[in-house]
């Protein structure tokens, strides 16, 4: 839906002697983006009207008329027939004006005991709560897709890296489960942030509260808020909940970005660990042979814009005196774009996880290079009684010999091995295998296939119980 902006110049109210210029109108209006709050604005207005009625501030007739008018407005918006007017500045005034057109004085009474300041703060919180719930589901879908991938590869061996150098053999399933953990914490952060989002500003009015006998708890209940905001100045002016959300979103994107970086590296022909299904890749306009991992690259790039939105909101807030200032209108575009970016990214990644094919042989070959089991040899010597530091040194010398000769540790004969330590016996070769190495790391959080399968079951059970 795009907002149609039509023109009709009028001064703001009797207080003003001239209308604003077209440029100022365009500069100060928010309707081109805040029309997206319409659904939440109407829900907030209906809850407010219901309370005004229950408190005998408006009549039953007025309440019925407001309901009737809002139902029609909702239908007009859903049908794309609602005419958004730039002259009416924002979503709140557009809807209120249309309501008044439809139901007369009842529409004019809706704004009793309310201000756009508490109204917009309420709308954003409703919008964000909805977005957080959606993102929670999408994080869950992504985790399920990654669990399936990890399950298919609980025993697939690859090199694990530190400093981008081959470090120790791990299983691909274990590697993928690292992201399952990250996205799990992202879900926790979203839920935690939701608790602070889900408090009702309405009733704060412009900044000081209202002289009408309102019932804020009633409105909070109607709208599903856990509590009301307990200070009217704070209620209309702070956007910390949106900043907090953007910080959580930036971490989601950071995790996506790290994973993207790995996917890009793994898909490089030089590495060749995986292939990503064609539907997530694009070609080159000049080089016919190219297949580029565009989706992960773009996700990595989009992390920058989400980080930028976080900084934008922090900067927006930092210089504002209490209470509401028009600066706050600038909270919406960064927030909307953060939600849109995270939602699209998570949806694509959940789908793409099913389109990753693993080249087991290439992973295994890579794990065989770089003395990935050197630590296992050191551990072997420790188990035979050598202090770890001495074992580390003995294996370092053995590796040095292999580097000079261009061979692997397993290529050394037992006699050659024993030059580095007399403690080495012919059981050493089992220790140097990739399978033996991963299977030996058999504790919670370790890379052994048995542990990977247990970890998958654990997360599956957690997801099923929530």
> Could you list the residues that contact ligand ARG (CB under 6 A)?
30, 34, 90, 116-117, 120, 324, 326, 328-329
Q: How far is CA 77 from the centre of its chain?
A: 29
- The two tokens of residue 265 are 């590296």
CB 117 within 8 A of CB 206: yes
Q: How far is the CB of 74 from ligand ARG (least distance, A)?
A: 20
**Surface-to-core class of residue 187, CB atoms within 10 Å of its CB (0-12 exposed, 13-18 middle, 19+ buried):** buried
Decide the pairing of beta strands 165-171 and 356-358: unpaired
Question: Residue 236 or residue 310: which is nearer to ligand ARG going by CB?
Answer: 236
The residue among 333 and 360 lying less far from ligand ARG, judged by its C-beta, is 333
Instruction: Give the C-alpha separation, 462 to 139, whole Å.
Output: 14
* Catalytic residue (one of 163, 285, 465, 466): 163
What lies within 8 Å, CB to CB, of 375 at 6+ separation is 168, 395
CB 329 to ligand ARG: min, Å: 4
- Of 317 and 456, CB closest to ligand ARG: 317
Residue 113 to residues 95, 142, 206, 226, 367, Cα–Cα distance (Å): 17, 44, 9, 22, 69
**Shortest distance (Å) from residue 120 CB to ligand ARG:** 4
Nearer to ligand ARG, 328 or 338 (CB): 328
Taking the least distance from each CB to ligand ARG, the nearer of 121 and 358 is 121
CB of 205 to ligand ARG, least distance (A): 11
Output 260 or 328, the one with its CB closest to ligand ARG.
Answer: 328
* Alpha carbon 394 to chain centroid, angstroms: 47
Distances from the Cα of 329 to the Cα of 93, 121, 236, angstroms:
14, 10, 12
Taking the CB of residue 215, how many other CB atoms lie within 10 A of it? 15
Active site residue 163: yes
Q: How far is the CB of 55 from ligand ARG (least distance, A)?
A: 24
Q: How far apart (Å, rounded) are the C-alpha atoms in residues 287 and 369?
A: 32
Instruction: Please identify, using beta-carbon distances, which residue of 73 and 236 lies nearer to ligand ARG.
Output: 236
Residue 165 φ then ψ, to 5°: -105, 145
When the beta carbons of 12 and 388 are compared against ligand ARG, the nearer one is 12
In angstroms, give the least distance from the CB of 83 to ligand ARG: 18
Out of 6, 9, 59, 284, the active site residue is: 284
Please, what is the minimum distance in Å from the beta carbon of residue 29 to ligand ARG? 8
Q: Do residues 154 and 165 lie in contact, with contact meaning Cβ atoms separated by under 8 Å?
A: no
User: How far is the C-alpha of 248 from the C-alpha of 307, rounded, in Å?
Assistant: 10
Tokens of 149: 């991938």
Handedness of CA 208, 119, 224, 195 (dihedral sign): negative
Q: Which two tokens stand for residue 415?
A: 């006699």
CB 346 within 8 A of CB 252: yes
Shortest distance, position 9 Cβ to ligand ARG, whole Å: 19
Residue 148: both structure tokens together: 């399936």
Residue numbers annotated as active site: 163, 284
């Amino acid at each position: 839906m795009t907002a149609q902006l039509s023109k009709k110049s009028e001064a703001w109210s009797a207080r003003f002697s001239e209308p604003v210029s077209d440029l100022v109108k365009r500069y100060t209006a928010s309707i081109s983006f805040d029309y997206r709050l319409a659904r939440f604005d109407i829900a907030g207005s209906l809850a407010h009207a219901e309370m005004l009625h229950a408190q005998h501030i408006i009549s039953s007739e007025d309440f019925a008329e407001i309901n009737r008018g809002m139902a029609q407005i909702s239908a007009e918006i859903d049908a794309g027939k609602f005419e958004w007017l730039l002259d009416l500045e924002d979503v709140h005034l557009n809807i209120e004006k249309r309501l008044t057109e439809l139901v007369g004085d009842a529409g004019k009474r809706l704004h009793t005991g309310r201000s756009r300041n508490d109204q917009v703060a309420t709308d954003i919180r409703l919008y964000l709560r909805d977005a957080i719930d959606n993102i929670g589901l999408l994080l869950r879908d992504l985790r399920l897709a990654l669990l399936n991938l990890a399950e298919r590869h609980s025993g697939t061996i690859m090199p694990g890296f530190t400093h981008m150098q081959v470090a120790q053999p791990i299983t691909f399933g274990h590697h993928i489960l690292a992201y399952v953990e990250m996205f799990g914490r992202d879900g926790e952060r979203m839920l935690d942030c939701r608790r602070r989002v889900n408090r009702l500003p309405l009733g704060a009015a412009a900044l000081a509260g209202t002289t009408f006998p309102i019932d804020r708890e009633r409105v909070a209940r109607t709208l599903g808020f856990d509590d009301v905001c307990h200070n009217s100045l704070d209620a209309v002016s702070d956007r910390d909940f949106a900043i907090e959300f953007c910080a959580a979103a930036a971490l989601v994107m950071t995790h996506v970005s790290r994973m993207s970086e790995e996917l890009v590296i793994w898909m490089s022909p030089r590495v060749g660990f995986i292939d990503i299904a064609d539907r997530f890749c694009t070609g080159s306009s000049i080089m016919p042979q190219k297949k580029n991992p565009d989706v992960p690259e773009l996700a990595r790039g989009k992390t920058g814009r989400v980080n930028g939105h976080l900084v934008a909101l922090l900067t927006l807030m930092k210089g504002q005196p209490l209470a509401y200032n028009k600066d706050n209108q600038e909270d919406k575009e960064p927030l909307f774009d953060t939600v849109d970016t995270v939602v699209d990214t998570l949806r694509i990644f959940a789908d793409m996880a099913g389109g990753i094919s693993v080249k087991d042989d290439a992973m295994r070959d890579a794990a065989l290079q770089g003395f990935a089991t050197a630590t296992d040899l050191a551990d072997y010597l420790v188990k035979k009684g050598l202090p770890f530091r001495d074992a580390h040194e003995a294996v370092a010398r053995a590796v040095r010999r292999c580097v000079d000769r261009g061979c692997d540790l397993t290529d050394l004969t037992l006699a050659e091995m024993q030059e580095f330590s007399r403690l080495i016996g012919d059981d050493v070769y089992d220790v140097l295998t990739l399978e033996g190495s991963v299977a030996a790391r058999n504790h919670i959080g370790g890379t052994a296939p048995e542990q990977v399968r247990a970890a998958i079951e654990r997360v599956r059970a957690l997801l099923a119980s929530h």
